[in-house]
């Protein structure tokens, strides 16, 4: 037995402490502060030390357990069979080692594998009895997880009842689509809340919400990849497992592939490393599985991982650049967000010049300074952010970033509205930056759609003190607009006033979007407008009335209620009512799809298949299941099937889900012409 050198003992102790801390941040707090690759490198180093010096192994070593205990707040659930984690690699050489090791253990010359995309989400176990969902649990430490059944029931892609009356346990991954991740973080910026670091982090935070209504709002999704004891269902291969899950109504990731050798594994990995940006969900690698179930059983498991599978992960897309200076943005709710101005660099296919710094607590925790060399990463391949600095490269000229003492726009007082709040806000209710952001939303295409009133003209109106609230837009005169000077001629003025006048007749749901009610986007605005019919009814709505709207939980209901009971907002609305429509023209919109035959294909973001069918029928249309020359329109979701190709060949008009919503919101059935 080798005597363990003191420096090795010290290093192993430090690695255990750091890995346990980061495991706690990841599993319990759902708030990782290092990348997966950094974690994996530390874990690999500790495993190598323990392999060389087995006496270093302690009961608390991360190599001896799968994860951390479940967080408090949910009932604990003991899994019938353990949920193992995967060994992983970032190198082609280690994939070859895995292949050779599996061949040696099985005593075979060739193998077939199934390659699947590794979804960056939250592991979940589902239990069905007689085909009915009875339990959904998080992975936890692999032995004990958390009961999140009530929340999982809100995920539209997870069936409450299977197509066959089976007793079965399924494993999969809950995830947040990139489009939802982006929208949620934009909303959190406006509300001064900490941003989610990545879609996985957001999915974990969402699934562990105590209010299922709040979970429903976030449109989680799920893919499934494993059946416990598959041979019980006469399944002999992983490929058959994937097919069987689709057969019983479970969603699987559609890009799995069978391959015969390591060159196929590597080609698949390289292809998706390049193409992953095209997906609406985050993937952080591929998973390689031995295809034959009896070979999986023969290979078995280590204490931590299956011997028959490995994760071949993508390298983190990071790049180094310099933080030149910090600017401050003021949102429509007054939140002051620090933004890093960077030396331009290319990252994930785009040139990045700016990155969010989230808030001043984040800056302090990561010790970010002006002049630092920093590592940049795109959260969920979408939002550029600084994940760490390189203090060892400092020259001494770097400057500590301090919160502004006054609002950077109006020089008003700044502070926190309530104790414990992270966000720093401008407390001046008349701050022009707040009004500018609110006006830009109000006139946007999804709201009142006042064309010609772009960002620059909004700024000029504010600078000239012509607009102080929404209603002032409807009081503008040609003479006032002419005073704005260069570029504002008679024709521009006439067109702008015409657009402003047109906006007076927009339906209520457009007005609700424009008001900027926290948590209310296009779909919910339409649902509110259709339910309450006019603004007066919505203003009078109690919290229990708002809870009747699908997807509205107690937190959101309180937010909407408080919005319509804010004195300043009520004063503004009372003035605005003198100029704009405050009703939803249900009778007018009712027949917009009258006589139209519509086909829906693919997975939609905002609606289940039943919901979109009900909406089409409510608007006068009819739903058909196959595309023909008599089809008027095909609504195309994510991962569409052969119906899309048939529609193209037949010359049938196709639209995305968003385009369809724009059509019905615009109340113009002429858009359905080919």
The catalytic residue positions are: 118
Closest by CA position to 218, among listed 249, 179, 261: 179
CA atoms within 13 A on the CB side of 2: 12
Is 580 within 8 Å of 513 (Cβ atoms)? no
- The CA distance from 672 to 668, in Å, is 8
Burial 242-256 (b: 16+ CB within 10 A, else e): bebbeebebbbbebb
Distances, alpha carbon 475 to alpha carbons 177, 232, 491, 579, in Å: 42, 73, 19, 9
Distances, alpha carbon 661 to alpha carbons 180, 607, 618, 631, 658, in Å: 17, 11, 14, 19, 5
Assigned token pair, 470: 């929404």
Radius of gyration of the chain (CA): 28
Is 404 within 8 Å of 414 (Cβ atoms)? yes
Tell me which H or E stretch contains 135. strand 132-138
**80: burial class by Cβ within 10 Å (0-12, 13-18, 19+)?**
exposed
- The CA distance from 28 to 34, in Å, is 15
- The CA distance from 8 to 27, in Å, is 28
**51: burial class by Cβ within 10 Å (0-12, 13-18, 19+)?**
exposed
- The CA distance from 149 to 138, in Å, is 9
Distances, alpha carbon 18 to alpha carbons 7, 25, 85, 318, 573, in Å: 16, 11, 19, 22, 54
Contacts of residue 590, Cβ cutoff 8 Å, sequence gap at least 6: 618, 619, 620
Three-state helix/strand/coil letters over 321-334: EEEEEEEEEECCCC
């Amino acid at each position: 037995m080798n005597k363990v050198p003191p420096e090795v003992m010290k290093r192993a102790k430090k690695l255990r402490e750091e890995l346990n801390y980061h495991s706690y941040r990841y599993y319990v707090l759902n708030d990782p502060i290092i990348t997966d690759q950094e974690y994996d490198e530390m874990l690999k180093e500790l495993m190598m030390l323990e392999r060389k010096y087995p006496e270093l192994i302690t009961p608390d070593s991360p190599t001896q357990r799968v994860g951390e205990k479940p967080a408090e707040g949910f009932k604990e659930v003991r899994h019938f069979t353990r949920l193992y984690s995967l060994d992983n690699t970032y190198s082609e050489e280690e994939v070859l080692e895995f292949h050779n090791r599996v061949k040696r253990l099985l005593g075979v010359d060739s193998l077939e594998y199934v390659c699947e995309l590794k979804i960056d989400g939250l592991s979940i176990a589902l239990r069905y009895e007689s085909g009915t969902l009875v339990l959904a649990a998080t992975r936890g430490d692999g032995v004990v997880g958390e009961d999140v059944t009530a929340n999982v029931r809100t995920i539209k892609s997870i069936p409450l009842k299977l197509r066959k009356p089976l007793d079965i346990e399924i494993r999969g991954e809950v995830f947040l689509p990139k489009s939802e991740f982006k929208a949620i973080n934009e909303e959190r910026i406006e509300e001064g809340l900490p941003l989610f670091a990545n879609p996985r982090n957001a999915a974990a935070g969402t699934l562990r919400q105590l209010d299922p209504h709040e979970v429903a709002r976030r449109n989680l999704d799920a893919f499934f990849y494993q059946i416990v004891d598959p041979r019980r269902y006469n399944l002999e291969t992983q490929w058959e497992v994937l097919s069987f899950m689709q057969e019983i109504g479970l969603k699987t990731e559609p890009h799995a592939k069978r391959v015969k050798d390591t060159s196929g594994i590597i080609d698949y990995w390289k292809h998706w490393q390049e193409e992953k940006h095209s997906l609406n969900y985050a993937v952080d690698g591929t998973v390689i599985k031995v295809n034959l179930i009896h070979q999986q059983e023969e290979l078995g498991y280590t204490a931590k991982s299956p011997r028959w599978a490995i994760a071949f992960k993508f390298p983190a897309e990071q790049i180094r650049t310099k933080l030149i200076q910090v600017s401050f943005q003021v949102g429509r709710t007054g939140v002051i967000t620090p933004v890093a101005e960077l030396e331009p660099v290319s990252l994930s296919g785009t040139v990045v010049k700016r990155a969010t710094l989230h808030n001043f607590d984040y800056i302090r925790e990561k010790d970010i300074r002006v002049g630092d060399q920093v590592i940049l990463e795109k959260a969920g391949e979408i939002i550029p952010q600084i994940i760490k600095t390189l203090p060892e490269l400092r020259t001494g000229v770097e400057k500590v970033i301090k919160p502004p003492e006054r609002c950077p726009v109006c020089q008003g007082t700044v502070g926190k509205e309530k104790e414990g709040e992270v966000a720093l806000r401008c407390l001046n209710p008349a701050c022009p930056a707040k009004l500018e952001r609110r006006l830009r939303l109000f006139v946007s295409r999804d709201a009142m759609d006042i064309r010609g009133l772009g960002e620059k003209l909004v700024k000029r109106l504010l600078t000239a003190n012509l607009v102080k609230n929404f209603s002032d837009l409807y009081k503008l005169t040609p003479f006032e607009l002419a005073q704005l000077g260069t570029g504002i001629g008679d024709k521009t003025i006439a067109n702008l006033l015409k657009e402003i006048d047109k906006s007076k007749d927009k339906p209520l749901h457009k007005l609700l979007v424009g008001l900027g009610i926290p948590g209310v986007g296009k779909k919910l605005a339409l649902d509110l407008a259709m339910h309450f019919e006019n603004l007066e009814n919505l203003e009078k709505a109690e919290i229990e009335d708002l809870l009747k709207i699908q997807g509205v939980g107690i937190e959101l209901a309180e937010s909407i209620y408080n919005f319509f009971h804010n004195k300043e907002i009520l004063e503004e609305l009372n003035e605005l009512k003198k100029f704009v429509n405050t009703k939803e023209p249900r009778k007018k919109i009712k027949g917009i799809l009258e006589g139209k035959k519509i086909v829906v294909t693919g997975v939609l973001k905002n609606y289940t298949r039943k919901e979109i069918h009900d909406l089409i029928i409510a608007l006068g249309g009819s739903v058909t299941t196959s595309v023909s020359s008599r089809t008027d329109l095909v609504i195309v979701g994510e991962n569409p099937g052969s119906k899309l190709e048939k529609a193209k060949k037949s010359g049938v008009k196709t639209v995305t889900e968003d385009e369809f919503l724009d059509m019905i919101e615009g109340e113009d059935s002429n858009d359905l012409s080919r």
